Amino acid sequence: MNEPNAFRFQVNLGGMIDILSNHLYSSPKVFLRELLQNATDAITARRKSEPGLAGEISVELVGEGSGSSLVLEDNGVGLTEEEIHQFLAMIGQSSKGNRDFLSQEITFIGRFGIGLLSCFMVSDEIVMITRSAQEGSPPLEWRGKADGTYTIRKLEIEVAPGTKVYLRCKPGCEDYFTPGRVGELLYHYGVMLPYPIRFQYEGGLQTVNEHIPDWLAQPDVIRTRKQEALQFGRRLLGETFTECIPLQTSSGRTGGIAYILPYTVNLNAKKTHRVYLKQMLVSEKAENILPDWAFFVKCLIWTDELQPTASREGFYENERLDQVREELGDSIRRELIRMSAYEPDRLQSVIRLHAHSMKALAAEDDTFFRVIYKWLPFESTYGQHTLGELMERSRKLGFTRTVDEYRQIAHIAKAQSLLIINGGYVYDAELIDRLPEVCPDVEVEQMASTDVSLAFGDLSEPERHQYYEALRQADAILQRFRCRAELKRFQPESLPALYLASKEYNAMRSIELTKQESTPLFASILTNVSNRYHEAAYATLVLNLNNPMIARLFAADAGAMLPTALEMLYVNALLMGHYPLRKEELSLFNEGLLRLMDLGLNGNN
Amino acid sequence: MTTNTNHRPTFRELMMEAEQLPKGEAKLAILDEAVRLADSAQDVMQGYQARVQIVETASFSGFPLRALVAFSWLLGQWDKHEDAFNTFHLLWYYKWVLNKASHFPDITMEQIESLLADMLERYRAYGYSDRTYHHYRFRIAMQCGDREQAMEHYEAWTALERDDLSDCKPCEQHQLVKYWAFMGDDERAFEAAEPMISGRMKCSEVPHFTFAALLLPAYRLNRVDDAEVLQKKGHRLIAGNKDFVEAFGDHIAYLTRIDVKKARDVFERALPLAVHHEDPFEKMMFDSSAAGLLKRMAASGYPYKLRLPASHPLADQAGDFEKLARWFEDGATATAASLDRRNGNEMYAALVRSRIDVG
């Protein structure tokens, strides 16, 4: 296999690099991750046979920007000529299984060749000098070009076992060759690596991962060293946090820190958890590693039990990931429950910012709901309060399923000090519906807008008799709006009339409006599907006999006045309820207004 | 939690608020409000903008009727001011609306035919091929129990090249799975599902629907282990989503035969989503499966109090399984009868029976 000196890749390397940079990796910067990965793997492999070996990775940046070069060296296992061909000429075929000591997933996590190829994203030529730790192996120089050719030659110099990779900055990649950028990337990728990474550049030398935090093994310790953990999160995640939660799975193979976001995020917010796989940063935007409800935290997670996708920037959905996700979720849930017992103030401040998230979790999990329901905020006719506060005011809670119904009811319920909760927001109605399971002594009732009638006072028998005829007339006047009139007594007195529409009526109304705007075919279809609404589709105009004007209207023999007055009350009630007016209602309003002015002027004369 | 009842939000505020919400009822309520504002102001552009969002939201969160109403309005406006709006979107939405039309027994066969013809005419006018038309004819034929039409349009559909209005590949592949199950060939249904089972094909609704659709075939083929995995994975994908009420029915029907307790858990979790569902067909599939489960529970005599949503008509009789079973059965058989009447066959009567009488 080693007679000829020049070899050719089996694939078009240019195309391959294009695929890597445009489709597999999110950014060229990952070349540093790939190099660190290869170096780490090589050291780990060598330590299998030489356990006492102190691994070391050194990185040197010579020059800056264009014309600069980067050298990364490790004292790992190195490569023989045969291995170079295997690793580099057989891209895409996993190196695993080719060599005994590399075949174990745990020791050799990288795919050497494909990793090295990623360097072509930032360098047109890659030079690698390597000497295998195998007895008698000569030092070799491998020189690969982006056009797909590579050469190998034996070197006559004496070098220690290990691998050294040289890259020269490619035009357009100057940004990846500055001390600041390289140092930052090395820190981000390598902060948890077990071998020291020394970074040398003009004017400086630093050890990137000098201080490997001990909470990697024991995330729980951050409880007593919060400031340190927050500082760590700030450096790695670039945000200032004030709260964090330790994460750990039962296997101990996945741990982390969940930082509670110091601002409210919406339900659809992108999740950008940062995950270290086998101590190496693999993803800065892992989405699927926590349950959906946990959108109020940003996590640092380290694991050695998940399978990365081809790009190594996410994880395969499999049973294992399922379990890890579940258990990480449990860690967060447990901590919140712990807070509820020992630090309720802390929990409340979290809930204040992340009510949506807390409600999402509570909707999914009875136990959690049981623990935190008291602190969940709801909008009600008593104002914005926590459920606990509302329950102190009343053991009987009414709630609506939609914002619409709430609005219809709210002002009259407020006037009568009825406690009604707006259940129209995501999860709210669902949670209130389930409240009695958690607090058996609380009664909840779903209210439709037509249900506020329980707050209406009925007329007495003589009154009923007295107003019978006028009410019948009123019904006749409103009939063309599929609306009927009712005469009641209710608070507030200032409100003359209330328009109550069933959900079905509103659906019907919107279908009727649409039919006027659509094509004949769709109008005919809408007619057919709206049949189902006919029975339930009605509206009611509730007139308030406590209101002096209504009392006068019905007491007097209003006669000619009644139709106009009722139509005006009807339109006025629609407007109060924020309903858009149909064309005929709008013209009714205009005509009515003029007629009333006319009547008024006549009366004054 | 930003709406203050005393302040009337503007159209823009409502649209921004809606944007932040996941697809579902709360979002639709806000969009409806936006529509009302736009209509009151007689602002066609705003009315259009809000209704586009309604179609997009309602079509994927279990509100096909609301999607239909909003789409009807959009189409009417489009015909009036063709240049003002995005043609492609409307042609694309047409598929969603058409697909659900056959779920409503109130929509007649003639109307469905007219919709297909209308869609075809519009597609041709914009230079798209007949492929999507044949595909949807094929789907509707399956939905209406017409084997011959299904076979005919299956041929016509697959013979043509894909174009920009074609459904995504996973969705089309899912239809193949349904086709073989519809033709009674469970083995081939499984073969067709291979790309989904292996994880190579996926989109926002596949393999969600596919895994559910494979459960009863897997049970019939005695592929116990496959079924167990499909059920677990499939349920995780659809849990809590109103768009998958038919699929919940599949899960319940399968689990009723395997593990009544699990079936009950899935049923309890899904019921609030299904109880007032707009789609009569999907509700029928759910209700018939629920009836089968409840009958089993009644027969076992095991005392248990179901968690029923407060809005369920029998919420106060959560322990009376026989009564509940009858309620679900009545609903399902009534819908099946009206669908069959419209379709001119007895497919749904038989299907619903097979779910109710688990044996």
Measured in angstroms, the CA of B106 and the nearest CA of chain A are apart by 6
A268 is in an annotated binding site: no
pLDDT at A98 over 50: no
- Fold exhibited by the domain A457-502+538-604: Four Helix Bundle (Hemerythrin (Met), subunit A) (1.20.120)
What pLDDT sits at residue B97? 96
A305 is in an annotated binding site: no
pLDDT at B356 over 90: yes
> What percent of chain A stands above pLDDT 90?
25
ipTM of model: 0.92
* Cβ(A259)–Cβ(A237) below 8 Å: yes
What pLDDT sits at residue A310? 64
A424-436: per-residue pLDDT in tens?
Answer: 877 888 899 888 8
Query: Which of A407, A422, A510 comes nearest B69 by C-beta?
Result: A510
Q: Which of residues 373-412 of A touch B (CB under 8 A)?
A: 377, 379, 401-404, 406-407, 410
Measured in angstroms, the CA of A442 and the nearest CA of chain B are apart by 14
B251-308: per-residue pLDDT in tens?
Answer: 999 999 999 999 999 999 899 889 889 999 999 999 999 999 999 999 998 888 888 8
Distance CA A87, CA A460 (A): 95
* Cβ(A389)–Cβ(A348) below 8 Å: no
What pLDDT sits at residue A108? 38
What pLDDT sits at residue A385? 92
What pLDDT sits at residue A480? 83
pTM of this prediction?
0.71
CA dihedral A442→A446→A450→A456, nearest 10 degrees, is 0
B40-97: per-residue pLDDT in tens?
Answer: 888 999 999 999 999 999 999 899 999 999 999 999 999 998 778 888 999 999 999 9
Question: Angle CA(B177)–CA(B181)–CA(B187) in degrees, nearest 5?
Answer: 85
A382-392: per-residue pLDDT in tens?
Answer: 988 999 999 99
Question: Angle CA(A415)–CA(A578)–CA(B30) in degrees, nearest 5?
Answer: 105
DSSP designation for A21: I
Q: Hey, is A445 helix, strand or coil?
A: strand
Measured in angstroms, the CA of B334 and the nearest CA of chain A are apart by 14
User: Thinking of the domain A6-207, which architecture would CATH place it in?
Assistant: 2-Layer Sandwich (3.30)
Distance CA B352, CA A222 (A): 57
Residue B319, Cα to own-chain centre: how many angstroms? 30
Q: What does the pLDDT average to over B338-356? A: 97
Q: What does the pLDDT average to over A49-56? A: 91
B206-221: per-residue pLDDT in tens?
Answer: 999 999 999 999 999 9
Listed range (A444-448, A521-525, B316-320) with the worst mean pLDDT:
A444-448
**Cβ neighbours of A521 in B, within 8 Å:** 111, 114-115, 118
* Cβ(A96)–Cβ(A103) below 8 Å: yes
Q: Hey, is B105 helix, strand or coil?
A: coil
Contacts 24+ apart (CB under 8 A), A592-596: A592/A564, A592/A567, A592/A568, A593/A568, A595/A564, A596/A564, A596/A565, A596/A568
Q: A237 - beta bridge partners?
A: none
pLDDT at B312 over 50: yes
Q: Under an 8 A CB cutoff, do A407 and B73 touch?
A: no
- Which band of pLDDT confidence, cut at 50, 70 and 90, is reported for residue B184? very high
- All structural domains of chain B with their residue ranges: 6-85, 184-234, 239-359
More confident residue, A107 or A582: A582
A163 is in an annotated binding site: yes
B320-345 in b/e form (b: 16+ CB < 10 A) is: bbeebbbbbbebbbebbebbbebbee
Which is nearest to B106 in space by CA: A533, A510, A512, A531?
A531
User: Distances in Å between the alpha carbon of B347 and those of B246, B280, B350, B351, B352?
Assistant: 16, 15, 5, 6, 9
Distance CA A594, CA A218 (A): 80
Candidate CATH numbers 1.10.1660, 3.30.160, 1.10.10, 3.40.50; the one for domain A376-453: 3.40.50
What pLDDT sits at residue A94? 43
For residue A334, the one-letter residue type is R
- Which band of pLDDT confidence, cut at 50, 70 and 90, is reported for residue A5? low
- Which band of pLDDT confidence, cut at 50, 70 and 90, is reported for residue A7? low
* Cβ(A297)–Cβ(A245) below 8 Å: yes
**Cβ neighbours of A359 in B, within 8 Å:** none
Q: Which of residues 105-164 of A touch B (CB under 8 A)?
A: none
Q: What does the pLDDT average to over A213-241? A: 87
- All structural domains of chain A with their residue ranges: 6-207, 214-346, 376-453, 457-502+538-604
Which is nearest to A139 in space by CA: A73, A198, A196?
A73
User: Thinking of the domain A214-346, which architecture would CATH place it in?
Assistant: 2-Layer Sandwich (3.30)
For residue B86, the one-letter residue type is N
What pLDDT sits at residue A522? 96
* Cβ(A149)–Cβ(A126) below 8 Å: no
Q: What does the pLDDT average to over A494-504? A: 83
Q: Under an 8 A CB cutoff, do A528 and B272 touch?
A: no
Distance CA B41, CA A515 (A): 19
- Residue B67, token pair as written in the block: 């999607």
Three-class DSSP labels, B209-226: HHHHHHHHHHHHCCCHHH
**Cβ neighbours of B73 in A, within 8 Å:** 514, 517-518
A138-183: per-residue pLDDT in tens?
Answer: 999 999 887 777 888 999 888 899 999 999 999 888 989 999 999 9
Average pLDDT, chain A: 83
